[in-house]
Chains A and B, each alone.
Chain A
Amino acid sequence: EVQLLESGGGFVQPGGSLRLSCAASEFTFSSYAMSWVRQAPGKGLEWVSSIRGSGGATYYADSVKGRFTISRDNSKNSLYLQMDILRAEDTAVYYCAKGVGSGIYSFDYWGQGTLVTVSS
């Protein structure tokens, strides 16, 4: 069974940084695009960023472009999200999600999420 396990969330002050990680198992990690999707408390889903299987192409929501960086290490079956210049509106549960294919498709597996709280 595919497993995605996020880590790295926590409490940070505005302007600070955090690095999220997602450990993947039970599928050929390098063959699939991976994404981060977030959900603010009591709100809907917001796509954050995606990266193709090879890691050669990355995509970002306008709300995080220039502040967040997605990356992956296919040798470690791991996905990352470096979050800099954090704002209060970045407070959310961050989900790691597996794409259906190597391109930008729908998401067939999701992790349980990691909570990021940005507050002074």
Chain B
Amino acid sequence: DIVMTQSPDSLAVSLGERATISCKSSQSVLFTSNNKNYLAWYQQKPGQPPKLLIYWASTRESGVPDRFSGSGSGTDFTLTISSLQAEDVAVYYCQQHYSSQITFGQGTRLEIK
């Protein structure tokens, strides 16, 4: 199975500051035939199901604020929140679907400093 490792496990950032979460996969999730990275990011707030933020590593889902961005390719990926808002407090997960054995990262808890 492809192992997804996020860092850090938790993060405290001041309002208006940048938050950066890393996700590394144990093998490449870049499908060379279409040049797409099979990597998604989700946000989960307490008591709610996850919400898709980013797919194909860098494509923002409809309705997601543009302060959220995804980058990276192959095995190294980053989710960036450019200016943290209070409503961004949540746990964030990366997910690979390159393999039919889908795997998630362990999650990163984002809090306000």
**With A106-B40, A106-B55 as given contacts, are A112 and B49 in contact (CB-CB < 8 Å)?**
yes
Which residue on chain B has the smallest CB distance to residue A112?
A: B49
Give the bracket for the number of chain A residues in contact with chain B: 20 to 34
B93 lies within 8 A of A111 (CB): no
**In the complex, chain B residues 89-113 whose Cβ is within 8 Å of any chain A Cβ:** 91, 93, 95, 97, 100-107
Which residue on chain B has the smallest CB distance to residue A95?
A: B49
**With A62-B1, A111-B49 as given contacts, are A47 and B61 in contact (CB-CB < 8 Å)?**
no
Q: Verify if B50 is at the interface (C-beta below 8 Å from A).
A: yes
B93 lies within 8 A of A44 (CB): yes
Q: Verify if B19 is at the interface (C-beta below 8 Å from A).
A: no
What total of chain B residues lie within 8 Å of the partner, measured CB to CB?
Answer: 23
B101 lies within 8 A of A45 (CB): no
Number of CB contacts from chain A to chain B under 8 A:
57
**With A50-B100, A104-B102, A108-B61 as given contacts, are A45 and B52 in contact (CB-CB < 8 Å)?**
no
A45 lies within 8 A of B40 (CB): no
A110 lies within 8 A of B49 (CB): yes
Q: Verify if A11 is at the interface (C-beta below 8 Å from B).
A: no
Instruction: Name which of A44, A45, A106, A110 has the most chain B CB atoms within 10 A of its CB.
Output: A106
A100 lies within 8 A of B55 (CB): yes
Which B residues are within 8 Å of any A CB, using their own CB? 1, 38, 40, 42, 44, 49-52, 55, 61, 91, 93, 95, 97, 100-107
- 9 A-B residue pairings within 8 Å (CB atoms): A44-B91, A44-B93, A44-B107, A104-B102, A106-B97, A107-B42, A108-B52, A108-B61, A110-B51
Which A residues are within 8 Å of any B CB, using their own CB? 35, 37, 44-47, 50, 59, 61-62, 95, 100, 104-108, 110-113
Given contacts A45-B50, A59-B100, A107-B95, 14 further A-B contacts (CB under 8 A): A37-B50, A44-B106, A45-B44, A45-B104, A45-B107, A47-B104, A61-B101, A62-B101, A100-B55, A104-B97, A105-B38, A106-B97, A108-B61, A113-B49
